[in-house]
Amino acid sequence: QLETLEQEEQERLELRPHPTEKTTHIVSHEHGMTVTKTLQEGEAEPQCLSFSYSRARLQGVLLEGASLLLLRVLARRQTMPPDLVFPAINIEGDLCTSSY
C-alpha cells in the first residue's frame, strides 16, 4: 500500500552560456494527482506545464521515489514476485507501465 503524497525532482545541466534547469513537482490531492514541470534555459522565461490525473486513472501508480523504496524492500527480503508490473508516469508525464 505505497502512496506518493508529494515528490520533487530537480535536474541542472551546466552548459555555457545557457545552463538548463528542469524541475518536476508531483502532489497528490483528493481528486487525484497534479504534475507541474518547469524548464528554465539560461535567462529565458521559464516554461511551465501542468497536468492532472484522476484517482481512477492512478490506481496502483508507482512513482520514482516509491519505486526506489520498493526495490530496496525487495532486495532486503531477497525476493522478487514473478511478473511484477505497476502503472507509472514516464518522463513526458504519460501513463505507462513499469515492470521488474
User: Which residue type sits at 32?
Assistant: G
Please tell me which residue, 6 or 65, carries the higher pLDDT value.
6
Q: How far apart are CA 90 and CA 98, in angstroms?
A: 9
Measured CA angle at 89 (ends 36, 31), to 5 deg: 60
Q: Is the pLDDT of residue 84 over 90?
A: no
What does the longest C-alpha to C-alpha distance in the chain come to? 49
Q: How far apart are CA 80 and CA 31, in angstroms?
A: 32
Quick one: pLDDT at residue 1? 63
| pTM, entire model | 0.69
Average pLDDT of the chain is: 84
Hunting for cell 497534479 — which residue is that? 34
